Chains A and B, each alone.
Chain A
Amino acid sequence: MTLWSWLSTHDHKRIALLYAISITAFFFIGGAAATLMRIELATPAGDVVSAETYNKLFTMHGVIMVWFFLIPSIPATLGNFLVPLMIGARDLAFPRLNLTSWYLYVAGGLFTLAALLLGGVDTGWTFYTPFSTLYSNTHVIAVVTGVFIAGFSSILTGLNFIVTIHKLRAPGLTWFRLPLFIWAHYATSVILVLATPVLAMTLTLLGIERLFHVGIFDPALGGDPLLFQHLFWFYSHPAVYIMILPAMGIVSEIIACFSRNPVFGYRSMAYAIIAIAGIGFLVWGHHMFVSGQAVYAGMIFSLLSFVVAIPSAIKVFNWTATLYKGTISFEAPMLYALGFVGLFMFGGLSGLFLAALALDVHLTDTYFVVAHFHYIMVGGSVSAYLGGIHFWWPKITGRMYPPKWAQFAAVLLFLGFNFTFFPQYLLGVEGMPRRYHEYAPEFQTLHVLSSAGAVILAIGYLLPLVYLTWSLTRGRKASANPWGATGLEWTVPSPPPVENFGETPIVTQEPYAYPPHAVSGGARRAAST
């Protein structure tokens, strides 16, 4: 158990833990930047930090949270740990590549951190040209390089998952017997592999342009800054689905387990995941409604954005239907999952406001947008991530955490989150623009509410850090299957042995074969005959 044995491990379970530790560190760094912003925004005057510092804070918050926390969060930790276990494999297809991926992630992260510490960058996480190429005096190239390197870590993870899911499934584990967690990771991997290279090349072009002061994004030469926005969002919109699809996978597992029902409409859930991933590639222009793109392009992007809402709604309906007549228990993971469904629905519906062309003109670049994507990414993805951590914690560590504390933290997080971000919807509707460090006095009440909520939210994040760490040594030992859940990962000891399975399992069951209940007629009759 030396440090080197960890740093040179090819075991997907250990690499998952390496990722878990590193993304947690980045989460709290990104969170620190957000904390400073919320302190600044408690008063209308720009009195805590200067405008320049504030720009650097929201850039740092965005860059770190998007590329060094959210993108790798679920896939690289829980996905890494669980994908081989759920499909009955010994490891991912390419274990060395998996470790390489973590090293690339760390290298990219250190690059970015170094740049941020040396003076930071003020372009916003979107790096819009020509500001990023011509006018900004900050460390754009260093940060872009960091993101570029981290991009390759995403690509390698995606590649590994695709090959593993195709080629290493246990005998009998057909596509429609796969847990939805696996479906979600498959779709996510396809996005990682197809979208990330576009970002990588776009950032390369940006870097070259900044270095040599010539390039295709430069309007002075007849180049096109809008081209940058198109290419950037061609990656960055699907990136939102990289964050939310694995979260949906987790929530499906948890809700089925704690309502003791098979996931309602399993096949439509799988198809919905694929549909979201596919259509998600065709909606990037809704980030550019006011940029001057063609109005007809805007109409089509608007329409397609509404279309994405359909598979998303199917998922919400099916989660709700899974609860119907289930034996529901409110363990901590379930609280996170139910919180996810509510917050995701809220965030998703406010997305429809923004997808409407005319309404977007009013709402664009206001706090409404900030509230919308935080509901999806923080309310949605982070809640699901924590739900997943709580659900599989006994499997990963072999220990139980104190359940009452966990339930308390889940509820606190839900309340704190809404307290922080709901006021931002109202601020946005009233016209408060994003990315400003001072504001008109009439916005103060809502800003103070939001900052106060952020304190509760922060406690909600710190609590699990404390009791989960405590449980590592003091927690009760966990059995192989403490929740009575279905799925191959629960058939092996907690924590699983290095080779995962003593003998390759043979799958004969449909997924989510939870015992039939009260009036689930057909299944029950079938069982009794």
Chain B
Amino acid sequence: MSSAARAEAAEASGAFSDRDQQREACDLGMWVFLTTETLFFGVLFFGYLMARLRFPEAFAAAGRHTDFALGTINTAVLLTSSLAMALAVRAAAIRRRRWAVLLLGATLTLGVAFLVIKGFEYRAEYLQHLVPGADFRFDAAQRDAAQLFFWLYFVMTGIHAIHLAIGIVVIGVVAARLAFGGFALQSPLSVEMAGLYWHFVDVVWIFIYPCLYLIARS
């Protein structure tokens, strides 16, 4: 084994014999994980589909009670964060550390902004008695089905928000390690993996948004 090959083998960790293999394995691993996540969210969309097919009018009526403006702003915020993330992945790939850290910071900030806006939305819905339970108030004829809609609304956006919060933590760690340790501590590969996850969470929102906010507003 030449000294260069030995150095490369040492750089690749664990079971891998070189960095290419490690890269390919991490890539595949992440995509398998995202497939799992797709099925995880798939249950929610399936449940939504079944309920909505059963109660189309009530779902439309309830859908009009979601906050269209905040939901749309949040969509824009999240898409912008995805742009920042994509640029951060590129910056890391060409080893521009400062840019990568800055762009990861922007992604993180936009992610937090999304959660804050979502928090205000939840607060307004709580005040309007739209949280399912004994306190739920809605037009009597459609009360039960509307409650199902809002149950799905809170579960879907809530589980999405948990995923987003995890993404924020991951990006924070990656950004900090990159800022203080450079590429020796944090390889471009980890930025790319964090990016894949972040884009996935965004894509989920792209499906949630029309289901919950746009259904009665066409």
A234 to B34, CA, bound (A): 19
Can you list, as one digit per residue, whether each of B39-69 has a CB less than 8 Å from chain A (1) or not (0)? Answer: 1111110110011001100000000000000
How far apart are A499's CB and chain B's nearest CB, in angstroms? 10
Please report which residues of chain A, range 197-234, place their CB below 8 angstroms from some CB of chain B when the two chains form the complex: 197-198, 200-202, 204-205, 208, 212-216, 220-224, 227, 231
Please, could you name 25 A-B residue pairs with CB atoms under 8 Å apart, sorted by A?
A: A84-B15, A89-B15, A92-B15, A93-B14, A93-B15, A93-B29, A95-B14, A159-B32, A159-B33, A167-B25, A193-B36, A197-B40, A197-B42, A198-B39, A201-B43, A205-B44, A212-B132, A213-B133, A214-B133, A214-B147, A214-B151, A216-B50, A222-B51, A224-B54, A504-B17
Contact (A221, B147) CB under 8 Å given A163-B28, A193-B35? yes
Q: Which of B32, B50, B51 contacts A162 (CB 8 A)?
A: B32
A260 to B206, CA, bound (A): 57
Q: Is the CB of B25 within 8 A of A93?
A: yes
Q: Which of B15, B42, B44, B144 contacts A221 (CB 8 A)?
A: B144
A155 to B15, CA, bound (A): 20
Task: Identify the closest chain A residue to B40 (Cβ).
Answer: A197
Interface footprint category on B: 35 or more
Question: Could you list which residues of chain A lie within 8 angstroms of chain B, going by C-beta atoms?
Answer: 10, 84, 89-96, 155, 158-160, 162-164, 166-168, 193-198, 200-202, 204-205, 208, 212-216, 220-224, 227, 231, 504
A451 to B129, CA, bound (A): 57
> With a CB–CB cut-off of 8 A, which chain B residues contact A159?
29, 32-33, 36
Question: Could you list which residues of chain B lie within 8 angstroms of chain A, going by C-beta atoms?
Answer: 14-17, 21, 24-25, 28-29, 32-33, 35-37, 39-44, 46-47, 50-51, 54-55, 132-133, 136, 144-145, 147-148, 151-152, 155, 159
Q: Is the CB of B32 within 8 A of A216?
A: no
> With a CB–CB cut-off of 8 A, which chain B residues contact A221?
144-145, 147-148
How far apart are B121's CB and chain A's nearest CB, in angstroms? 19
How far apart are B57's CB and chain A's nearest CB, in angstroms? 12
Q: Which of B36, B43, B51 contacts A155 (CB 8 A)?
A: B36
Contact (A168, B15) CB under 8 Å given A163-B25, A194-B39, A201-B44? yes
How far apart are B178's CB and chain A's nearest CB, in angstroms? 20
A49 to B55, CA, bound (A): 46
Task: Identify the closest chain A residue to B146 (Cβ).
Answer: A221
How far apart are A38's CB and chain B's nearest CB, in angstroms? 37
How far apart are A231's CB and chain B's nearest CB, in angstroms? 6
A466 to B89, CA, bound (A): 56
Q: Which of A84, A91, A200 contacts B40 (CB 8 A)?
A: A200
A89 to B22, CA, bound (A): 13
A89 to B132, CA, bound (A): 53
